[in-house]
Chains A and B, each alone.
Chain A
Amino acid sequence: MTRQDLSRRRFISSAGVTITLPLLPSLMYSRRAGAAAACTPVKRLLTYMFPNGHKLDEHVPATPGAGAAWTLPPMLVPMQSLKSDLLFVSGLENQQRRRQLGDHAIGSGSLFTARMPTLQQQVTNSSVDQVVADAVGGCTAIPSLQLGTHNIAGADQFGTYYTRNISWRGLSMPNSDGTMSYPQGAATPLGKEISAKAAFDHLFQGTDPATSTADAAMRRALKKSVLDAVVPHGDALKLTLNASDRIKVDQLFTGIRALEDELQKAPTSQSCAKPAAPAATQAFQSGQLESMHELMAIAFQCDITRVISFMMGDAQNQRDLSFIPEISALGGDSTDHTISHHMNAGSRLTKFRAAVLWKQTQIASFLTKLKTRTDADGQPLLHNTLVLISSDLSDGNAHNHDNYPMLVAGQLGGLVTTDRHVQYPVLKDYTMQKTFGDFYITLLGMYGVTVKTFGDDGKEALAWNH
């Protein structure tokens, strides 16, 4: 019997009723089970997507190497003070050399899954943040957070769940040799919270000092009874449904189990003072983005969660960037996606550079928060964290997924050696090409999850980390 089985049995008995096992074991939160890792040392992961791609020839460092042997490329100049905490990995690819249209959905849909999206269907595999959430999510009050800034992207052929979302929970299967498999199948897009106020409320829920311990315990017990009450409904309903409809109902009960898990934990004693709540409505450039960055730093510092995914904007983001002075000064087109098609010429190229630099400046300010705040072990937060930063496109103008940059920040407690540029060769034969899938095999290993394959074409671990 695997530990995951034990976990399921534990839930069943706690529900006080007989329930059928879920159709898809992966759909449940299997934290503290299967791939669970130790809670110390603290290991965090943040996956960060910015929209509409790179100015690739000015975003990839000129030479590989460490320390003085590599320098930041023009588009990363805003990160100069963070160089010693950065690892730039170039020469990887993800998914395709444009076998199919829908560039943005393919980019964002595969960014952290290494899996080609499925047209108009929610079929893929778990994203790496969710695999890591299974491993370390049980250590914190909130297993993982998904944050963003808007929900406006179109389907880009594949579906809005691929362009508005980068976190997926799909199938997970333990193998007899202790490794894990994350095959393609029906998967749940986790969506994202775009209100900093709502995210704040979620992070600091249940910390009302006015409530007495006894009252709080009774409230939790009643809440649990509510969840118990509907479990038999799900069981009975699933018997009457076809397989694909059962998946929808399983999604509901996966969420209900997650609520149950939370209720069974003792209320967390916040080690941090509750900060001031952000305003209920904020403009992206003058509040919302900064609030989200601040909340993510606080969530890590207070150890409320260790896994976050963040979308600075949806794939194919059409936000008006005229708030960037260099862009408004030139007049004319100013929406993010429009200027990404810059043709390497004219004012639009100037605007795209300004847009990319602005985005990197914002990311740098976030990373600086992680670098300047102290973790429980006295190290900077960033030292115990990995931040993976990339986009829904490799090159913004070409709208492709070749030579896809992956910027890594942080050392994950020393497992990753930074201040380096690791470059893999771009090969003619895609079957030999190193990919994001390979990159993620190594990544997951550092969080204690051993996989032999990942995504469509992750075949072997790559030693990018040191």
Chain B
Amino acid sequence: MSTLDAYGPPGRLTDLDDVGLKAWNVFLSDSVDGAVKGPDPAKVRNDSPRPQFYNLTRAQTASDATEATVTWAAFPRRIKLDSLSDAQRWQRADASRDVQDEYCEWSVTRDDAGRIIRVTFTCEGPEYWDVLAQTSPETALRLYQQHVSPQVRKADLFGLDGRYQRRNRWNDSTTQGAMHLIQPSNTLGAEIELAAAATIRRVIDGQELVTAQELIACSKYGVAERHSDPHIGEVVNTVARQAADLSLTDPVGLYFNGLSTEGWLTPDSSDPQSYWRYVRGEQNHPVRAVYEVPADRHFTVSDITIGGKPIRFGAQIADFITIKLSAVACRIGDSTVQPQTACVELVPATAGPATSAFAASAFSPYGYVGAGSAEAAATTRRA
């Protein structure tokens, strides 16, 4: 039996100072508490509370704890469904970070001839960068300069009011660099909310819902057309049905599970896997990856073929990347929480603006103002 002292940063990154680490723990802990509490029943019915989800820093993880890893493909499923051909979908996925919605975003660097020389992938949630940039702005700048471009200036990252801009000129395109996730659904808040909401069992008309699409349609905890959300929900709910308590494993985050290079061929028969490097995050928790051929090899990424076809898009690599999260389950068989017998219903708003489940209030104890409210609206819940 153990209780976590404090939530650690994603990938156990070492960028945060003491204040930042405390702020991060508060953010995570408050986010989990908010997810356990669920939405206001006056606004959303049948979705709160979520007592099978728990805060690792407040409740003990029992000795029967077991971990489950959920993996999914990084290429955006919605683009795949709407495209007729590979060329169409690769082009569309490479065109905008806003469509890269599987908790993995990328940026492509080409040479003057248009050949790909590097593709950078990130699965770092934006909330971490809010905390880092506000608590250690010089570190944030240094990391941008290290990983994106030496040309990055502080003024590029911070607005006139001093707030960190998640979307800035060095992190809002598929060509100028990708420091962390910016697609609106790609947030740690969304991950936490989704995992918590998926612990609610649903018995509708006497039948317990168990499939990914039934659950997400009823529980409305994400975007049904993504690879990630329905799958995460299905796996979490499977564990919840075993009458277990459940939480996201520390360090809470989204991580690269791996790159498969099956069917890839390099011009010199070198191992295509050797050009895939993790550059941020500890082993087993990588949050940043680069695919790049060293200059002394005298060929580019575009000279590598997959199934006989040269790599012309970063999205072709994304086809072979999987992303993961980890959850911990304990007290298996002990939960007495009863299933909900109705689906989630949104109560029509009568007046006033909707509140965000994940406002930046987590930083207030330390006097920090996080991202703007629009950016902090981190849930992926659909109206």
A binds B: no
